[in-house]
Structure 1
């Protein structure tokens, strides 16, 4: 069965997701569909405009790069990207949180108004993206402390280990645990112990720097990975964290059983041939801190 031109146009107009014909120069040559008004506004006013006139330079350049890639390769490209109200020029009221789209970009085998062009089908995937982010968060995060979990720490440690050997930038690791935590659980019960773990997690989040990664390593054991940080710098940061945790624990209305942490630090070294060695050195520093009376940060080389 052959469709008439009128029927074909009606089918294209009824598409739930919007489909844009975009030229090599970034012109919105035509728009079809977008009838699902739960997710899309009428975009017909864009026809005749250029991407650079609609989006901020950073976003406009990204869109132009995708168009150029597809026209050069001659192959379909699938991309995911966010758009927020702040990305649209002259838009006074728009969504503050980004809306996520999947773009399916096809090269057209004919020119449009004298230019090579692509068909860009945009699908709103915000709900899917949010679900993926939530699942990712749950898979990487310790539920009690709200810090990263052991698996995320080891993955990030391995990545930093590779970067250290490639670029020779310093990186250090702190491993610490709570002093007399078992006695606290025995005397006060596990709900109190859980509250202590929560407080330690909160202090870590408030204290560490943006590029650091804090994780609950297991039980009452924690670790903080500190990129771009020498051993001396790491000790200063770790001791500040120790003092803040002690202050927070002393403020709890609890028997004075578990009020401090002991920790060990280790710096990545050129002779290290695997990431586990850094953890082993930090553990030795932790044992040393315990043997020296607790409530302190040590490294294995201290006298």
Structure 2
């Protein structure tokens, strides 16, 4: 701990004013009693106008209530309380078009003070702009969940989606169907025309999935030339209609590639979540079994697994 007796009051005030991140003194009732620092002009505006105002004067009701709750939590804990929070232009009153065009993320370090300010318990709230790290975090998460070749969800993201929707089905019995399909004779495309041609067939298939499927549908590349489409709120009879349309459109798209796609088609298997299922793996296994039946029956078809 620094010996503050080595510094004059003026020096201490200058040190506090030089802090890159702003530090607010906020009372229990949500009043701005003082502000120090915030000199990093890349991230912060002059906040001196906040002194004397309440959080409710500055922020919309929902955001003000959240800040008030964090102050209460910090005072009750009697220790450091760390939170992350976004602030957008419409969160701040009177900002209008002069506010930030994008949401700004902050880390707040909220420390209760050992003395009262303006007759109330109070906290020191240090706000650090963490927008850049949040953007990087979001980018890394997207990359970890996105198939690099097609831009669709990858296997990891698919499994998370299947888990989430199976839990919703188990709770609410909302009909949910799963289609699994692959490109017929894909190995022949690779062998005859090369792997770049194979990649083109895969990316074309992905583009058609994005264009033809509904906004609620969840297409993913499982691996190789194999794709899965999760269809929430969709019973298998309706899902079959969607799957058949997708089969036709993909065949048209592949065949439009010319020699590469001449006669190219897909085969698929479709299954619906049922009350007897204990996990999404059972649904996926039934769809996979139906896909192999489609292959055995001559390809270029979707087979629906009928409930037992």
Q: Under a length normalisation based on structure 2, what TM-score does the superposition of the two structures give?
A: 0.89
Q: Please name the residue that 1:68 is paired with.
A: 72
CA drift at 1:211: 4.0
Aligned to 1:69, the other structure's residue is in SS state: helix
CA drift at 1:258: 5.5
Q: Is residue 201–residue 261 contact of structure 2 (8 Å, CA) maintained in 1?
A: no
Q: For 1:26-41, what aligned pairs fall within 5 Å after superposition?
A: 26-41=30-45
Residues in 2 aligned to 1:273 and 1:186: alpha-carbon distance in whole angstroms: 40
Q: Is residue 178–residue 258 contact of structure 1 (8 Å, CA) maintained in 2?
A: no
Q: Under a length normalisation based on structure 1, what TM-score does the superposition of the two structures give?
A: 0.90
Q: Please name the residue that 1:99 is paired with.
A: 104
Equivalent in 269, 274, 277 of residue 274 of structure 2: 269
Residues in 1 aligned to 2:65 and 2:297: alpha-carbon distance in whole angstroms: 59
Q: Please name the residue that 2:180 is paired with.
A: 175
Q: Is residue 254–residue 262 contact of structure 2 (8 Å, CA) maintained in 1?
A: no
Residues in 1 aligned to 2:119 and 2:23: alpha-carbon distance in whole angstroms: 20
User: Alignment length, in residue pairs?
Assistant: 303
Is 1:131 paired with 2:136? Answer: yes
Q: Is residue 288–residue 300 contact of structure 1 (8 Å, CA) maintained in 2?
A: no
- Gaps spanning 5+ residues in structure 1: where? none
Equivalent in 21, 32, 36 of residue 17 of structure 1: 21
Equivalent in 298, 302, 305 of residue 297 of structure 1: 302
- Gaps spanning 5+ residues in structure 2: where? none
Q: For 1:242-257, what aligned pairs fall within 5 Å after superposition?
A: 242-257=247-262
Q: Please name the residue that 2:221 is paired with.
A: 216
Q: For 1:189-228, what aligned pairs fall within 5 Å after superposition?
A: 189-228=194-233
Residues in 2 aligned to 1:13 and 1:251: alpha-carbon distance in whole angstroms: 67
Is 1:7 paired with 2:11? Answer: yes
- Render the CA deviation track for 1:195-217: whole Å, top value 9, x for unaligned: 22112222223344444332110
Q: Please name the residue that 1:84 is paired with.
A: 88
Residues in 2 aligned to 1:18 and 1:181: alpha-carbon distance in whole angstroms: 59
- Render the CA deviation track for 1:140-179: whole Å, top value 9, x for unaligned: 1110011111122123222332332233333221111112
Residues in 1 aligned to 2:90 and 2:258: alpha-carbon distance in whole angstroms: 47
Q: Is residue 184–residue 258 contact of structure 1 (8 Å, CA) maintained in 2?
A: no
Q: Is residue 21–residue 28 contact of structure 1 (8 Å, CA) maintained in 2?
A: yes
**Residue range with higher mean Cα deviation, 20-29 or 170-179:** 20-29
Q: CA RMSD in A?
A: 2.3
- Render the CA deviation track for 1:221-243: whole Å, top value 9, x for unaligned: 01122233222232233233333
Residues in 1 aligned to 2:60 and 2:29: alpha-carbon distance in whole angstroms: 16
Aligned to 2:244, the other structure's residue is in SS state: helix
Q: Is residue 174–residue 223 contact of structure 1 (8 Å, CA) maintained in 2?
A: yes
- Render the CA deviation track for 1:107-161: whole Å, top value 9, x for unaligned: 2233322333222111111121111111111111110011111122123222332
Q: Is residue 86–residue 96 contact of structure 1 (8 Å, CA) maintained in 2?
A: no
